[in-house]
Amino acid sequence: MSAEYATFGLAPAMRAGGLLANGDFQVHRDFVDFVVDGRPLLHRLSDLDAVSPLASDVPPSLFTSQVRALLLEAGAPLPAGRYIVYGCPECEDLACGAVTAVIERDGEDVLWRDFAWQTDEHADLERNGYHGIGPFRFHGAEYRTALAALLDGGVPGARRRVLLIGARAARLARLAAALRTIGVGADIAQDADGVPADELRGYGAVLFGPSVSDGERDAVRRAFAGAGVDVPCVEGLAPVVPLLVAQTEQALDRGPREGRRLTELTATTAGAELEITSPCRVRLTAYRLDRLSRTRAQDLFDGVLEPGRHRVPLDGRAVRGEAYLVARTGGTVLVTGVGR
């Protein structure tokens, strides 16, 4: 089979978790994505919420077996030499659907071909094949070097714990519980004084409650700097748990800008401006506090957008007063205040 050579690489990626306006939640997953010709392979699959088998939260033995399978050191897990490339981020059950492909050697090269959507042991290429994707021919040495690095401790270190700083313990406890629900660990403290450096290095983000003074925030930043760790510090926009969860998810996304499907979000009461890098489903949700300080949430948009800049009109009633907008794709969450 002839195919031009494509480059192969790996990059850390994230399936953003969060609390949704309808009461549902989705789990946070960190994983290693496949990069083909400098572009995440997942981005070629429009509107797909999925993760690769190389997830950071699977047991080490399972992670190793997944890598060795991709190195073709073991038999294919599915008939006809097919491997799962992306699966369900919630349960990873084939019945939920998965992107599969034939992975095989061709001399020294490695081929990925016949991509398909699969829900049982056998793929129907005619009906469910991704006919515009692949085949990809990779130089064997480049392919094996990238994957073998994962076996040598090259797994991107996911720091899925956040430190919540503030005096309102009950409010922060609700936030911590919500974060744990989606798979993000959270600890609560009034400051970072006396916390060992090794412990500080385990946090991926810090979120400050509204009662934390500027001086206290500076002291926390100095503590992390002294531990030699660069951690994003988030100032909570409003006492709205789903909004704070979204802010935390945005802070935990440390991947490069070019690896994100959603790269920009601004909003006024008239509309939201978004920049999209590849076709994807986007959901816009507005949060606001009414005159009695009650939380109001409303989904304003849910649809697939093509690459480019987009303007989405907003319902003025949903964003009146102090309001905030959350834009969510499978792998990116952005939060912004709504300007008047």
pLDDT digits (tens, 9 = 90+) for 257-302: 777 889 999 999 999 999 999 999 999 999 998 888 888 999 999 9
pLDDT digits (tens, 9 = 90+) for 126-181: 899 998 898 999 999 999 999 999 988 755 555 678 999 987 778 899 999 999 99
In whole angstroms, what is the distance from residue 37 CA to residue 311 CA?
30
**In the prediction, which pLDDT does 155 show?**
57
**In the prediction, which pLDDT does 262 show?**
93
Identify whether the C-beta of residue 99 lies closer than 8 Å to the C-beta of residue 86. yes
Task: List the chain residues with pLDDT less than 50.
Answer: 1
Domain regions of the chain by residue span: 3-150, 158-253, 254-339
**In the prediction, which pLDDT does 148 show?**
93
**In the prediction, which pLDDT does 54 show?**
93
| Topology, domain 158-253 | Rossmann fold (3.40.50)
**pTM, two decimal places:** 0.85
**In the prediction, which pLDDT does 170 show?**
83
Q: What's the number of CA atoms in the CB half-sphere (13 Å) around residue 56?
A: 21
In whole angstroms, what is the distance from residue 104 CA to residue 225 CA?
47
**In the prediction, which pLDDT does 59 show?**
82
- CATH classification of 254-339 is 2.60.40, yes or no? yes
Q: Tokens representing 237?
A: 């926009």
The candidate with the shortest Cα–Cα distance to 96, out of 127, 128, 79, 119, is 119
**Long-range contacts from 302-308, C-beta under 8 angstroms, 24+ separation:** 304/46, 304/47, 304/279, 304/280, 305/274, 305/276, 305/279, 305/280, 305/281, 306/276, 306/279, 307/276, 307/277, 307/278, 307/279, 308/275, 308/276
**In the prediction, which pLDDT does 309 show?**
97
